[in-house]
Structure 1
Amino acid sequence: MRFDIISVLPGLLESPFAHSILQRAQKKGLTEIVVHNLRDYATNKQKSVDDYPYGGGSGMVMGIEPFAKCIEMLCAEREYDEVIFMSPDGERLDQGIANELSIKKNIMILCGHYKGIDQRIRDIFVTREISIGDYVLSGGELPAAVLVDAVVRLLPGVLNDETSALSDSFQGELLDAPVYTRPADWKGHKVPEILLSGHEAKINEWRYEQALERTKKRRPDLLAD
């Protein structure tokens, strides 16, 4: 699976992709993550990619030409299943979207900055707009990293235990049950006896009940959906 990410600040994405699960996935050849510097496609000597908005108003708008040049170059090299713009007014990222994207082959992600990007980029090239929450960040780089992480960990072979992702919170519309590890008794705080019983069916039943109860208390909207 390949991700091409277009950013005016590619340095912001160096660390998230150079450690832990994402680093391991790339070393195994299970995913390829390529970050493209939008300034390399600027059409002026100053390498600027933004300009004042038509109609006035505050802030600067990222122009159409640098994005279009980069997108067209990438699309000439391969076919993309999705061209995603990370935007606070997009559909909110959830586990279902991550699952859906995890079976794709090539994904392009556009990172906005400043006041936003020229609407024509969104109209002409973008196939999907995704938000990570109802708030505004300085740019789309951190949301892009969140999206890639959520998707890559689902790819077969990325996690040491491939069943781990299937039991995560939001898989099956429930939050995850409480988890424990050694020691079984820490200063009088004990692990539930059922988890020490070795009875798989009863443990699974307990975990389901705990997940259901936790979801009722913390995210009843998931059950309503």
Structure 2
Amino acid sequence: MRLRKKPGAPAKIAEYSQYIANTPEEWIGKWYDRFKNDYPIHIEVGTGKGRFITEMAKIHPEINYIGIELQESVIVVALDKLIEEKLPNLQLLHVNGGSLTQYFAKGEVDRVYLNFSDPWPKSRHEKRRLTFSSFLKNYEEVLIPEGEIHFKTDNQGLFEYSLSSFSKYGMILDQVWLNLHESSFEDNIMTEYEEKFSNRGQRIYRTVAKFPKRK
């Protein structure tokens, strides 16, 4: 679905550079300096309108969060939330999530969140899925040793594909939920999509996958 452009979005993104790094490549290896602390860094690739990452930052002030979103008309909505909340432990990046190694040094990130990523259901689009092997390689590069991916989706096909992709890459499936909202999982923060799909009675799938220890 083609997204409508939001008038004034580029200007707002430029104006609030304290929340969105306009030249993020300059902060590679120095994100602790930007946050002015040495807390763990968790990133969300495909942060959308920012509900999840904003709520996580509010609940966990002892963790630094970075929301990554390519769509300008969407990230500006997340920016509005951040401007209102003024959270010192949250930053946004208006960049392509497939280029993480351009913005983060090796081992600079402690955790990756993938929430309701585009399923790209056609076989010819497999390489665009955020759990394809080339993306996993990028995540592994920027994550700490034995770093984790926390993955949620409503799409059963994408979930099954992702479990297989994680396994083929040699990752350890630490936990798997086939119906998250009917489980005993606590403190779940819903995204906008998650709330919509859940209200329709759709299952929500979740897994935590850990990279193997580097040799």
Q: TM-score, normalised by structure 1?
A: 0.28
Find the structure with the greater CA-based Rg. Answer: 1
